[in-house]
Chains A and B, each alone.
Chain A
Amino acid sequence: MRFRGRSYIAFVLTPEAPIFDWLADLDAWIARSAGFFVGKPVVLDVAGLSLSKDAIAHLIAELQTREIRIMGIEGADLLDLGPELPPLLRGGRAANGPLETPALRQETIAARAAQEPGSLLLETPVRSGQSIVFPAGDVTVLGSVSSGAEIIAGGSIHVYGTLRGRALAGSTGNPRARIFCNKVEAELLAIDGYYRTAEDMEPSLRSRPIQAWLQGDVMLIAPLN
Chain B
Amino acid sequence: MAQVLVVTSGKGGVGKTTTTAALGAALAQQGQTVVVIDFDVGLRNLDLVMGAERRVVFDLVNVIQGVAKLPQALIRDKRLDTLWLLPASQTRDKDALTSNGVARVIAELKQKFDWVICDSPAGIERGATLAMRHADAAVIVTNPEVSSVRDSDRIIGLLDAKTEKAEKGGRVDKHLLITRYDPLRASKGEMLNIDDVLDILSVPLIGVVPESEEVLRASNVGSPVTLCNPSSAAARAYGEAARRLKGENLPVTIPSDKKRLFTRLFGRRAA
Q: Which residues of A contact B (CB under 8 A)?
A: 124-130, 143-144, 146-149, 162, 164
Contact = CB atoms under 8 A, between A and B. Distances in A.
Interface stretch (B40-48, B110-118, B152-160): B152-160
A147 B202 CA distance: 14
Contact of A148 (B154, B160, B199): B154
A144 B156 CA distance: 13
A168 to B, nearest CB: 19
Contacts of A144: 200, 202
Contacts of A148: 150, 153-154
B197 to A, nearest CB: 12
Interface in B117-141: 124
Contact of B156 (A127, A147, A162, A164): A127
A128 B150 CA distance: 7
Contacts of B151: 128
Contacts of A164: 200
A75 B5 CA distance: 68
Nearest to A130: B157
Interface residues of B, number: 13
Given A124-B160, A127-B160, A147 B153 contact: yes
B200 A146 contact: yes
Given A147-B150, A148-B150, A129 B202 contact: no
Output the residue of A127, A143, A144, A147 with the most chain B CB within 10 A. Answer: A127
Given A128-B154, A130-B157, A144-B202, 16 more contacts: A126-B157, A127-B153, A128-B150, A128-B153, A128-B157, A129-B124, A129-B158, A143-B202, A146-B150, A146-B153, A147-B150, A147-B153, A148-B153, A148-B154, A162-B199, A162-B200
A149 B150 CA distance: 10
Nearest to B169: A112
A144 to B, nearest CB: 7
Contacts of B158: 129
A165 to B, nearest CB: 10
Contact of A127 (B146, B154, B199): B154
Task: Describe B's contact surface by its main secondary structure.
Answer: helix
A71 to B, nearest CB: 42
25 contacts: A124-B160, A125-B202, A127-B153, A127-B154, A127-B156, A127-B157, A127-B160, A128-B151, A128-B157, A129-B124, A129-B154, A129-B157, A144-B200, A144-B202, A146-B153, A146-B200, A147-B146, A147-B150, A147-B153, A147-B200, A148-B150, A148-B154, A149-B157, A162-B200, A164-B200
A144 B202 CA distance: 9
A129 B256 CA distance: 34
A75 B113 CA distance: 77
A125 B202 CA distance: 8
A204 to B, nearest CB: 20
A126 B202 CA distance: 11
A21 to B, nearest CB: 37
A108 B146 CA distance: 28
B159 to A, nearest CB: 9
Interface in B135-179: 146, 150-151, 153-154, 156-158, 160
Contacts of B157: 126-130, 149
Nearest to A127: B157
A164 B151 CA distance: 14
B145 to A, nearest CB: 13
Contacts of B199: 162
Contacts of B160: 124, 127
A216 B51 CA distance: 67
B196 to A, nearest CB: 11
Interface in B33-72: none
A162 B153 CA distance: 14
A127 B202 CA distance: 10
A126 B199 CA distance: 13
Which 4 A-B pairs rank lowest in CB-CB distance, beginning with the nearest? A127-B157, A128-B153, A128-B154, A129-B154
B162 to A, nearest CB: 11
Contacts of A129: 124, 153-154, 157-158
B69 to A, nearest CB: 39
B170 to A, nearest CB: 13
A146 B160 CA distance: 15
A147 B154 CA distance: 9
